[in-house]
Amino acid sequence: MKKVVILGDSIRAIGYGKVIPDRLSGEFEVWQPSENCRFAKYTLRGLWDWKDGIEGADIIHWNNGLWDISDLFGDGVFTPMDEYISTMLRVARLLKERAEIVIFATTTPVRNENAYNKNRTIASYNNALVPLLEEMGIVINDLYTPIATDLERYICDDKIHLSEEGIALASDMVETIIRREAKKLGGSKKQASPQPPKETGAPI
C-alpha cells in the first residue's frame, strides 16, 4: 500500500485534511500531523518532529503561505518574500529526499475584505515560488485559481478559511492529483534518508 503524507496550515488541518483520509482509505496509508503546520519555518522545524510519520512516504502533498503573507501589525508581512522563497525551497529539497513525488498546493485566496491578508500578495508569492518548485520537479496543485473565481462561495465568513463548498472543491483537487501521481509510482518503495539516532535530541 502506498503511503501519502499531507502537510500544511489550517487549509489542510481543518479543511481537506478532514476529508482526504476517508477518501483514500483502503487504497493508501495516509498520515498527517495532528497540529497546524503554520508558516514555512514552522514546517521546516516540524520536519524533525514529524520524521517518524513522514518516513516511508511515497507522496507528500504540502502547503504553506497564509501565515507567511499576513500583515498583522501594519508593518509588513510576517515572512518577507526572499526568506519565504529560500525556506520553501529548503523544505522542498528535504521533502524530495523523503518521497518520490512531492506536490505543492498554492496558497489559497482570502475574501477581499480581509484586513490582514491580501490576494495581490498571495498571488505574488505563488507566482514567485511556483516556477522555482517546478524546476525542482515538484508537482503543482493550483488551489488558488478555482477558489478565487468565487470568494463568497468558497471562503467562509472568517474571510480566510475554506467554506464547506471550498473544502469540497479543494478535497476533490487534492484527491485527484494524488491519485493521478500515484499511477506514476514504481513498484519499489523509496528508501528514507538516514536519520540521526532517536536519542540525539533537537533543541526545543
Q: Give the model's pLDDT for residue 83.
A: 98
Report the domain count for the chain. 1
Written as nine digits, the cell of 91 is 523544505
Q: What does residue 14 show for φ and ψ, rounded to 5 degrees?
A: -115, 15
Range of the domain at 37: 2-182
Q: Give the model's pLDDT for residue 195.
A: 46
CA-based end-to-end distance of the chain: 34
Residue 188 lies in a domain: no
Contacts of 140 (CB under 8 A, 6+ apart): 103, 104, 106, 130, 133, 134
What's 118's domain CATH number? 3.40.50.1110
Block means of pLDDT (10 residues each) for the chain, length 204 residues? 97 98 98 98 98 98 98 98 98 98 98 98 98 98 98 98 98 98 77 44 50
Q: Give the model's pLDDT for residue 186.
A: 79
DSSP class of residue 201? P
By the 8 A CB rule, do 139 and 104 touch? yes
Residue 203 lies in a domain: no
Residue 192 lies in a domain: no
Q: Give the model's pLDDT for residue 196.
A: 44
Residue 197 lies in a domain: no
